[in-house]
Amino acid sequence: MISDDMIVVRSAEPLTAAIDGEIVMLSPDQGAYFGLNAVGSSIWQLIEVPRTVSSVCRAMTSEYDVDGQTCRTEVVAFLDDLERAGLVEVHR
């Protein structure tokens, strides 16, 4: 499981495009498309450069009306999904 002090960054693999404030990605290795809503797109933008999970959560709580624990739970779950899909790298 991903923890607060781990560093996450986008994988170089997916091809991305912004469409109406959301991100659409193609993973050539998996031959799959992925779509990110506005919140997921915000996280994707944040991890363009390597960041700790806690840094991502701080940025998200300042942008959205969400408490810290809920944000952390949702961000970690989202990043876990992206890691399983090969779309992010997690440095433990």
**Strands in 28-78 per DSSP E:** 32-36, 51-52
Q: Residues 6 or more apart from 27 whose CB is under 8 A from it? A: 13, 14, 33, 34, 85, 86, 87
Domains and CATH numbers, the chain: 7-85 (3.90.930)
Q: What is the pLDDT of residues 26-85, one digit of tens each?
A: 988 888 999 999 999 999 999 999 999 999 999 999 999 999 999 999 999 999 999 999
pTM of the model: 0.92
